[in-house]
Amino acid sequence: MRLRSMIGVDMVSSLPFWDKKKTVCQKAEMWLGAHKTFSSKILVDGQYVSLLNFLEIHKELLGFGSELSFLFKILSVHKPLSLQIHPSKDIALKGFAFENNKKIVIDDSKRIYKDENPKVELVYALSDFYALKGFLPLDGINHIYRSLGLDFNFMTHESFVKTLFDLHEFEIENIIYKVLGNLNFIDEFRAFWFNEIYKMYGIDIGLLVFLGMYIFKLKTGEVFYTESREVHAYLKGECIELMTNSDNVIRAGFTNKHIDKDEMLKVGKFEEGVFSLLKSENIDGCDVFKLPGTNLSLFHKCIGGESYFERVGVMILLVIKGKVQLNNRISLKMGDSVFIGNCDCNKELLICGNGEIFIALSL
């Protein structure tokens, strides 16, 4: 196997669920990939270089296409992340071109479209994981609002969101204070999370949207995904995240960052949520989760002894427990990761040792 087709991705093992003794700087989020706004570094001939730059020179390692088609993330969510929406492909293309024509620089805080790609996400829970995704039935939303003493009668999910975002700041503040005084009139679980989000973000329009959304709890090992245009947020827990290679985010709440109300209302899919767990396939003893509508898959396996994998496509392999060795020559410990490019050489990958791994794969 050629050296350049299997190269370590620079990653510090500093997430809280790895740092049991809390002896190193903790990070909430780690990216593995090659995006224009952020790229992992790889070790080549003793020097760290940008994976993005390396792949621009060695496009043969991608197999096809001009860029790595996925981002691989590890999240440790200790406070709710922003309520957000991601664009579909056609929306991303138009939005990226529009903002370029407006000469909005990529790192401008008000820039939404940082690339031309859609964003679809898969989440594998590493602990109990809490998330928001999609909206309750309209009668359920109206019931919650009436129970809280709020005089609204929403006719559609779209009008629910638009009505809230048309409120003045003082109206939002008055409503949130009223809700805080009436939380005992709604279910305890929803009331708990309203309080938690309020403690983190204070007066935030996302709190009123939250009241009409589904709250889900995943157990360790359970997987779900979000499509483009779906309103969602991650509230708490640790997970592996596999997504298309995009950093396009349209925020709707739980944030101090820019919220573009008009773009959010234009792009968002405001309808009753449908939630189901993503089922795995068993391939070579691995649990394999395919991200719908993409060519991406997430492999998960606990290694005990020797395991052989057919080497197809482009991969990033991550070790989250123990120690493993690849093809008897690359040793990896907890927190280490490796980029494995596409090539015409040895198609078999030998992994031995004792540990737990995830592989992000693009075919």
Same domain for 167 and 245, yes or no, is: yes
Same domain for 251 and 125, yes or no, is: yes
Q: Is the pLDDT of residue 185 over 80?
A: yes
State how far the alpha carbon of 149 is from the alpha carbons of 136, 152, 173, in Å: 19, 9, 15
Is residue 79 in some structural domain? Answer: yes
Q: Is the pLDDT of residue 363 over 90?
A: no
Q: Is the pLDDT of residue 311 over 50?
A: yes
Q: Is the pLDDT of residue 2 over 60?
A: no
Q: What is the mean pLDDT of the chain?
A: 91
Domain span holding position 297: 282-362
CATH number, domain of 311, equals 2.60.120.10
Is residue 105 in some structural domain? Answer: yes
pLDDT at residue 7 in the model:
53
pLDDT at residue 26 in the model:
57
Q: Is the pLDDT of residue 25 over 60?
A: no
CATH number, domain of 135, equals 2.60.120
Look at residues 281, 303, 319 and tell me which one is the last residue of a structural domain: 281
Same domain for 92 and 216, yes or no, is: yes
Same domain for 250 and 310, yes or no, is: no
Q: Which of 20-24, 69-73, 90-94 has the lowest mean pLDDT?
A: 20-24
Structural contact between residues 350 and 327, judged by C-beta atoms closer than 8 angstroms: yes
86 is in an annotated binding site: yes
Is residue 58 in some structural domain? Answer: no
Same domain for 222 and 262, yes or no, is: yes
Same domain for 101 and 232, yes or no, is: yes
Is residue 1 in some structural domain? Answer: no
- Using alpha carbons only, what angle is made at residue 322 by residues 5 and 345, rounded to the nearest 5 degrees? 20
Same domain for 235 and 315, yes or no, is: no
Same domain for 265 and 318, yes or no, is: no
Is residue 224 in some structural domain? Answer: yes
Look at residues 262, 281, 300 and tell me which one is the last residue of a structural domain: 281
Is residue 304 in some structural domain? Answer: yes
The catalytic site residues sit at 251
Is residue 17 in some structural domain? Answer: no
pLDDT at residue 21 in the model:
47
- What does the buried/exposed string (b/e) look like for 139-161 if buried means 16 or more CB atoms within 10 Å of the residue's CB? eebbebbeebeeeeebeebeebb
Number of H helices, E strands in the chain: 8, 20
- Tens-digit pLDDT profile for residues 93-109: 999 999 999 999 999 99
Same domain for 155 and 230, yes or no, is: yes
Structural contact between residues 85 and 57, judged by C-beta atoms closer than 8 angstroms: no
Same domain for 219 and 251, yes or no, is: yes
Same domain for 126 and 273, yes or no, is: yes
pLDDT at residue 8 in the model:
52
Is residue 30 in some structural domain? Answer: no
Look at residues 257, 281, 305 and tell me which one is the last residue of a structural domain: 281
State how far the alpha carbon of 332 is from the alpha carbons of 13, 282, 329, in Å: 12, 24, 10
Same domain for 153 and 234, yes or no, is: yes
Number of domains in the chain: 2
232 is in an annotated binding site: yes
Q: Is the pLDDT of residue 127 over 50?
A: yes
List of residues 6+ apart from 175 with CB closer than 8 A: 150, 167, 208
Q: How confident is the model at residue 204 (pLDDT cuts 50, 70, 90)?
A: very high
